[in-house]
Amino acid sequence: MSDDLVPRRTQVPGVSATLAGVPAIVADAGEDAVRRFLEFFGAQIRNANTRAAYLRAVGGFLAWCEDRGIHELRRIEPLMVAAYVEQLGKVRSKPTVKQHLAAIRMLFDWLVTGQIVRTNPASSVRGPKYVVKTGKTPVLKAEEARQLLDSIDTSTIIGLRDRALIGVMVYSFARVSAVVGMKTEDYFSQGKRGWFRLHEKGGKLHQVPAHHNAEEYVDAYLAAAGIREEKKAPLFRTSDRSRRLTAERLTRTDVFRMIQRRSKAAGLATAVCCHTFRATGITAYLENGGTIEKAQAIAAHESPRTTKLYDRTQNDITLDEVERIRI
Report the sign of the C-alpha dihedral through residues 121, 124, 128, 134, in that order: positive
Q: Are residues 259 and 200 in the same domain?
A: yes
Within a domain: residue 238? yes
Q: How far from chain centre, in Å, is Cα 319? A: 30
What span, in angstroms and rounded, lies between the C-alpha atoms of 99 and 94?
A: 9
- Strands (E) in the chain, as ranges, are 187-190, 193-200, 204-209, 237-239, 245-249
Q: Are residues 57 and 178 in the same domain?
A: no
What span, in angstroms and rounded, lies between the C-alpha atoms of 73 and 116?
A: 9
3-state secondary structure of 129: coil
Domain that holds residue 218: 142-320
pTM of the predicted model as reported, rounded to 2 decimal places = 0.67
* Surface-to-core class of residue 301, CB atoms within 10 Å of its CB (0-12 exposed, 13-18 middle, 19+ buried): buried
3-state secondary structure of 238: strand
Domain boundary among 113, 131, 151: 113
Could you give phi then psi for residue 41, rounded to 5 degrees? Answer: -80, -35
Q: Would residue 289 be called left, alpha or beta, if left means φ above 0 and alpha means ψ between -120 and 50 degrees?
A: left
DSSP state for residue 183 in the 8-state scheme: B
Within a domain: residue 2? no
What span, in angstroms and rounded, lies between the C-alpha atoms of 130 and 66?
A: 29
Q: How far from chain centre, in Å, is Cα 273? A: 11
Domain boundary among 113, 129, 162: 113
What span, in angstroms and rounded, lies between the C-alpha atoms of 307 and 244?
A: 38
Q: What is the pLDDT along the chain (327 residues), one digit of tens a residue?
A: 444 333 344 344 434 433 456 898 999 899 999 999 999 998 888 878 888 999 999 999 999 999 999 999 999 999 999 999 999 999 988 889 999 999 999 999 999 999 999 999 999 999 887 665 555 778 888 899 999 999 999 999 999 999 999 999 999 989 899 999 999 999 999 878 899 999 887 677 888 889 999 999 999 999 999 998 999 999 999 999 888 999 999 999 999 999 999 999 999 988 888 889 988 898 888 888 888 888 888 877 777 777 777 666 665 556 666 666 767
Within a domain: residue 50? yes
Our count of domains for the chain comes to 2
Q: Are residues 151 and 260 in the same domain?
A: yes
Domain boundary among 113, 133, 151: 113
Within a domain: residue 134? no
